Amino acid sequence: MMSEHVANQMIYLYMGDGHVIPRNATRIRVHESVIAIPPHAFEQYPHLVELICHDGVKTIGYRALYLCPSLKLVQIPGVIEIMAEAFAGCPLTHVTFEDKLERILKAAFRSCKSMKSITIPLKEDMLGIVEMPFYDCDKLERVDIVESLHKAIAAFQFEEWTDDMNLEVLPMINGGILSQTPNHVGCYPTPGAKNRAVLWIASVLYKFDRYKAQHLNLLKEASTTLELALWKMRLNRGNSDVPHEGDKGGRAKCRDNCGTDMTIIIPNVLSFLKIE
């Protein structure tokens, strides 16, 4: 089936490179066999309102949806790479990317005049931030990071770690490292602005990795303390199977003998506190 009708509107099913969708299409869904939207695929489609991709679509090609004046909704949950000018000049108001995203290249969202917010993962080698993918997005007010990173920050052991990370992240969210626009029309931001963006990402990731490592060390210490407490409980009950230091086999056997206390608490409670 090449198309279907939903609520009196035709949804065209895109089958991949070489398949031509009529230029009057308003809604396009990408077939599950397609892994990339090729360059210029839907460039300047005047009536295209939405593009729905499955999570197997990995790449949005050069100018794939360039200057689509009616485009309002894009769902690309599995995309890894956004090529240059892929969505330039489109009236999108918000785009959400998932953790899989690795790169956004030069001017990918250039002159998206209605763009107000965007959600992206944070990866040091991901962005063509040095190429200013959000150049000339005059209304871009909020650039957020994916929910998984927020959850990880909130799970840190100490409040001061969380507060420190939030202070580090706020400059991006509230304004401005990624959403900086040129000082005047036709002039790209200075290298200094580009370098600040790159350095900011590196700083956030460095702090996150450092706090995460410290958090995991605390979990290991807590696990050991809990294990020793359970062994002490067995000794107090007259059991003599508590292992000597370094006896890994004996430790495993003792865990089994400790019953539900050890088999439930150690693997489940402590793993629940881990930060991914």
Q: Average pLDDT of 47-74?
A: 97
Note the pLDDT of residue 185: 36
Query: Is 241 in contact with 253 (CB distance < 8 Å)?
Result: yes
Measured CA to CA, the distance from residue 130 to residue 154 in angstroms comes to 29
Strand partners, 44: none
Note the pLDDT of residue 155: 75
Highest mean pLDDT among 70-74, 186-190, 199-203, 204-208: 70-74
| Residue 44 pLDDT level (bands cut at 50, 70, 90) | very high
Asked whether the predicted pLDDT for residue 205 surpasses 60, the reply is yes
Note the pLDDT of residue 101: 92
Looking at per-residue pLDDT, the higher value among 29 and 178 belongs to 29
Taken in order 88, 193, 77, 141, the sign of the CA dihedral is: negative
- Counting every residue, how long is the chain? 276
Measured CA to CA, the distance from residue 211 to residue 227 in angstroms comes to 24
Q: Average pLDDT of 107-118?
A: 89
Tally of CB atoms within 10 A around 101: 22
Looking at per-residue pLDDT, the higher value among 8 and 84 belongs to 84
| Residue 147 pLDDT level (bands cut at 50, 70, 90) | low
Measured CA to CA, the distance from residue 22 to residue 40 in angstroms comes to 14
Lowest mean pLDDT among 10-14, 88-92, 136-140: 136-140
Give percent of the chain above pLDDT 90: 33
Rounded to two decimals, what is the model's pTM? 0.68
Domain locations along the chain? 1-140, 147-276
Query: Is 104 in contact with 82 (CB distance < 8 Å)?
Result: yes
Strand partners, 59: 36, 81
Looking at per-residue pLDDT, the higher value among 241 and 57 belongs to 57
* Burial environment of residue 58 by CB neighbours within 10 A (0 to 12, 13 to 18, 19 or more): middle
Note the pLDDT of residue 1: 42
Q: Average pLDDT of 193-206?
A: 67
Task: Indicate the CATH number for domain 1-140.
Answer: 3.80.10.10
